[in-house]
Amino acid sequence: MSQHKNLLNQPAWRFIDESITARNRSALESFAMDDTLCQLVGQQKSVPVMRTWVHDKTIVLGIQDHRMPFIQQAIERIEQHGYQSIVRNSGGLAVVLDEGVLNISLIFSEQKSSIDIPVGYEAMLTFVKLLFPELGERIEAYEIVGSYCPGSYDLSVDGKKFAGISQRRLRSGVAVQVYLCIEGSGSERAAFIRDVYETGLQGTETKFAYPEIRPEVMASLSEILDIQLTVNEVVIRLQLLLRSLTDDVRHGGLTDEELDLYGFYLQRVFDRNQKMLS
């Protein structure tokens, strides 16, 4: 069996569902949570984890976005739209989070054998195909030019991007993260990010090439499938898929000991974000 399929077929999975509980919390908490789980799974103090998370109106900026010449005006623009902004410490560029966007993190350990970066991406691609069997092989992974946060593992159907995959590695743990635009309009989200770039750049020449966003290349899964698909329905699909992968699915949040570690990572994430914004 290929390595990326092996990654999904774990003897046990731990499922942490924050698709409802995290909504009104800062998205920084999700980055701290994944760092915490990276260490716990990496050091084999926890079985591999599948975590779902949803945050209300937030623009997650990349480090390069934060270097735009008119970044303060761009942040004000974001706030005028009723969104908050944070800066993430991993790679990638600006993405939109809202109640119609489901994030999934798959967290594995590299302690026994290393997981190549492409293998992590392929595992998530396989997982998303299993989650949406009605699309299956129509889901393709290649860079969608004109999308926000473009990358070689943009997921699309017929050239319309609905998801992007990223990875974070820490203390022998690997977190493979995907954002899935499930509800609402993909092109409206993209137009908003285009507006943020136009405000932050104002036509200035920069060394870094920011994406020139074409909203029409992005869509939600509801639009692609032409049905009213909800985040909740996808979380239920995910639980059923998890049960098909293993008989041993463990539910529940962090233990007291794990919460102490989370407190450490949360402080670190908040401090870094403050330093960026100051």
* Residues involved in catalysis: 149
Give the integer Cα–Cα distance in Å for 157 and 180.
Answer: 13
DSSP 8-state symbol, 217? G
Give the integer Cα–Cα distance in Å for 103 and 88.
Answer: 15
Give the integer Cα–Cα distance in Å for 138 and 220.
Answer: 15
Give the integer Cα–Cα distance in Å for 178 and 106.
Answer: 9
Give the integer Cα–Cα distance in Å for 77 and 194.
Answer: 12
CB atoms closer than 10 angstroms to residue 143: 14
**Residue 97: enclosing H or E segment and its boundaries?**
strand 95-97
Give the integer Cα–Cα distance in Å for 271 and 269.
Answer: 6
Give yes or no for a contact between 108 and 54, defined as CB atoms under 8 angstroms apart: no
3-class state of residue 273 by DSSP: helix
For the chain, the straight-line distance linking the first and the last C-alpha, in angstroms and rounded, comes to 49
